[in-house]
Amino acid sequence: MWILFIVLGFIADRITKIWATYTLLGKKDIEIISGYFTLSYLENQGAAFGIFEGNFILLYVVAGLFTVVMLVYLILKKQKSFLMQFSFGLVLAGAIGNIYDRILQGYVVDFIQWHYLDKYYFPTFNIADTCVSIGTVFLVIYFLKEEKNGKNKVPVHNK
């Protein structure tokens, strides 16, 4: 099931980035909610939300290793939990989507921009970043749920 989430997330990311490139590159921003939500083309050479900009080697190595470790974990553990598969699938979809852009273009296309009037701008992002963020939130929920059910507790050995 996790493969489906990866594929759907990756396709959604690719389609929206292609759309953003053809619709927004070199053109006026599209204001969706005046003063709050805009679609604006940006070539991001950093990681999610623009952090580590210019550190290409670090980004490639960390993102690549992270992706491989998650894939190996999913394959070896054969997780049956829908929440775990959904979480990992979204995180991997986002990671793969942005790695794909970095390798082919040297940058990631970002275009979603939330802001508060002209006072505060949240870093511009894309669907891949959204997948990673949502997947991470659900992953935390999964582990908290498992902890509550006693499935992640480390056994204590009394002497």
Q: Is residue 124 part of a domain?
A: yes
Q: Is residue 150 part of a domain?
A: no
Q: Is residue 40 part of a domain?
A: yes
Full domain range(s) for residue 94: 2-145
Let me know if 98 is exposed, middle or buried by CB neighbors in 10 A (0-12, 13-18, 19+).
buried
29 is catalytic: no
Q: Is residue 152 part of a domain?
A: no
Catalytic residue chosen out of the listed positions 13, 29, 101, 129: 129
129 is catalytic: yes
Q: Is residue 158 part of a domain?
A: no
Q: Is residue 97 part of a domain?
A: yes
Nearest 5 degrees, angle CA 19-CA 49-CA 133? 85
Q: Are 36 and 116 in contact (CB under 8 A)?
A: yes
- Give me the residue label for tokens 């902890």: 147
Q: Provide mean pLDDT across the span 131-154.
A: 84
How many distinct structural domains can be found in the chain?
1
Q: Indicate the pTM of the whole model.
A: 0.81
Q: In this predicted model, what pLDDT tens digit does every residue of 66-118 receive, in sequence order?
A: 888 888 887 887 767 899 899 999 999 999 999 899 889 989 999 999 999 88
Q: Is residue 26 part of a domain?
A: yes
Catalytic residue chosen out of the listed positions 13, 101, 110, 118: 110
Phi first, then psi: give them for residue 151, nearest 5 degrees: -85, -15
